[in-house]
Chains A and B, each alone.
Chain A
Amino acid sequence: MKIAVCVKVVPDPSEITFDPQTKTVSRRNARNILNAADLNALEWALHLKAHTGATVWTFSMGPPFAAQNLADTIAMGADDAFLVSDRALAESDTLPTSLALAKAIEKAGGADLVFCGDETSDSATGQVPASIAEHLNYAQVTFARDLVLEPEKHAVRVTRELEGGQSLVESDLPCVISILSGSNRPRYTLFATRQGARASFKPKVWGIADLGLPREVVGAAGSPTRVSAVTAAPSAHRESLRIKGPAREAARKLAEALEARGAFEGVH
């Protein structure tokens, strides 16, 4: 059984800043990390590997430095890693991005399961997993909280989490599954193990020519959408009534302030 896990290298969300003058997002001080939900996806794959002996390969589309983060996936237990990297891919929206990842998975021989995180912390569209599934012509199940392989049936049972409910879905393989962020605890790897992997492991690197993708279908040219304008989010600033002091007094003043604003209407 082969499991492909798609991971994205993103700037650490807590370290990104926005300059309203230049209207640019600065990731200069942000470390490059693996998107949190993708770690949940990788953890699921490694869990299945432990139980079924599956092979786990990770795939990422990004600049050359993403090779380091892919080495981290090897340190965690992945068997091999592939980096799709090409200047021509810059400014790709989710259509060419999902296409490039799908082509890489195909080139690597395809997979029985493709796991992705449910969404990324930077662009947060949540569309890539479903798009990859369509490019590959695989089945898809998204927002998985739990999954159980049914090898005799060549199928997988997935519990999808919906708003206010759940859907239990049975899917034939091959299948793309997007994994709910926070659905498990990604394993910890020792710093020494990660450093070792970073020093010794080099992922396979493929450009668009290796994947048989012409320039017109990637980058800005291949993207139906583009960002036409970027602004700082509007200020949510409000004038505050400030309350300090001993707890009991503060609590009383808080209650008064809320009551003055009609906050307790309809309560008891």
Chain B
Amino acid sequence: MPRVPPESRSDWRGVLVVAEHRGKALMPITRELLAKGHDLAERLSTTLNCAVLAADPAPLVKEAIAYGADRVFCAASPRFEHYNTEPYVDLLAPLILKERPEALLLGGTRNGRDLAGRLAVRLTSGIGADSTDIRVNTETRNLEMVKPAFGGLILAAIVCENHRPQIATARPNVFSPLPPDWKRIAQVTRVEVPEAKGRPRTRVVRETYEPEGRARIEDAKVVVCVGRGIGSPERVETAAELARCLTAQLASTRPVADLGWVPHNQMIGQTGAFVRPSVYIGFGVSGQVAHTIGLAGTRTIAAVNKDPKAPIFAMADIAVEGDVSEILPAFLEEVKRRSKGAAQGALPERPPQA
């Protein structure tokens, strides 16, 4: 919407989350946004809405309601089987201009960002991108969208005071979903999908996903992370073996991913994943802010680095000064020794985690 003068701003009410899904279930990011949306809607004394565009919306609508939506707009069409920019924008823009939500929450995911950039121009409004926190001024009803910038050195608060809807995107694992309530009842509104005028300019040929069982780095409870100090792909393999022994996920910093030693989708940091494990053990990780910003939610951070002044030590609970090439294999042996001992009943019962 072009500038919305203060006297018209009362026309814009409600929070809208656009759902991301892969067929039968909502993506975790959508459940997380619904939780944040629910919080904002409460503070603003307004409703939380969710837009579900899918070939078969029914199961997704149910899930959106269970995770907090007060009202769901659902659009059913084969053209929504996979995310595709223009079918989404062409349906959402008129819906938004009609329903006038004051805030629009999208995932800071690949598809979310694909959509946000186009929708913001279509609607002439602004985005607070990759927000790590969204606060609201209940007087002005303006969101304050906080995000890290300059590689994580600073936090910038972005506001979109005179345009509506205010658009905010947030990355996975920044917000936590509410526990689902499958007994919740909400209003469901079917949105008519207009006749397609010819085929869309972009067409999804096929989507392939990693096997269901493969864990996402975001869900890791234990992370073994390698930084540049790991030194070689061979040593990365040792770290991978350690990860297997610890039932952990192997992750890396940006430079290691760019070297091709660890797949990019296992990268932690500002341009990669945010993780919230119980344990993070970094080998040869120096601790650049652009990486460590992705670790903030970790319970116990351990780091091994030969530089006593490595920035990571300032945020580590356990700081091991030493040569990764010696300590990593020694630690792997130690872990193997302990688990063998445990299997033989040699170690005492561990107390349950507090």
Residues on A facing B (Cβ under 8 Å): 13-14, 16-18, 25, 93-95, 98, 119, 121-131, 133-135, 139-143, 157, 160-172, 175, 180-182, 223-234, 236-245, 247-248, 250-255, 257-259, 261-268
Contact = CB atoms under 8 A, between A and B. Distances in A.
A265 B111 contact: no
A250 B320 contact: yes
Contact of B118 (A131, A255, A262, A263): A131
Nearest to B214: A164
B126 A169 contact: no
B206 A140 contact: no
A135, A250, A263, most chain B CB atoms within 10 A: A263
B247 A268 contact: yes
B322 A139 contact: no
A143 B317 CA distance: 36
10 contacts: A16-B151, A125-B127, A126-B113, A163-B172, A164-B209, A171-B203, A243-B321, A244-B320, A254-B304, A268-B342
Interface of A is mostly: mixed
Given A162-B111, A169-B205, A127 B120 contact: yes
B121 A143 contact: no
B346 interface: no
Nearest to A245: B322
B265 interface: yes
Contact of A164 (B160, B216, B278, B326): B216
Nearest to A268: B339
Interface string B217-239: 00001100000000000000000
B150 A16 contact: yes
A237 to B, nearest CB: 5
A225 B154 contact: no
A138 B227 CA distance: 40
A225 B156 CA distance: 12
Contacts of B150: 13, 16, 18, 25, 122
B279 A225 contact: no
A25 to B, nearest CB: 5
Given A16-B153, A227-B157, A250-B322, 8 more contacts: A140-B114, A165-B210, A168-B205, A182-B258, A242-B321, A243-B322, A263-B222, A268-B339
Interface stretch (B34-42, B47-55, B285-293): B285-293
B148 A164 contact: no
B163 to A, nearest CB: 4
A130 B257 CA distance: 26
Nearest to A182: B258
Contact of A225 (B127, B130, B210, B281): B127
A248 B323 CA distance: 11
Contact of B201 (A126, A139, A157, A164): A139
A134 B158 contact: no
B281, B292, B350, most chain A CB atoms within 10 A: B350
Given A124-B130, A130-B116, A241-B319, A265 B353 contact: yes
B338 interface: yes
B43 interface: no
Given A131-B120, A233-B293, A225 B334 contact: no
B210, B289, B320, most chain A CB atoms within 10 A: B320
Contact of A142 (B110, B149, B162, B216): B110
Contact of A240 (B161, B290, B313, B338): B313
A132 to B, nearest CB: 8
A223 B206 CA distance: 37
B58 interface: no
Interface in B190-204: 201-204
A191 B288 CA distance: 29
A262 to B, nearest CB: 4
Given A140-B118, A160-B110, A248 B201 contact: no
Contacts of B125: 224
Given A13-B290, A124-B130, A130-B85, A165 B209 contact: yes
A166 B153 contact: no
A228 B290 CA distance: 22
Given A163-B172, A265-B350, A224 B113 contact: no
B114 A224 contact: no
B290 A244 contact: no
Given A224-B125, A261-B300, A166 B148 contact: no
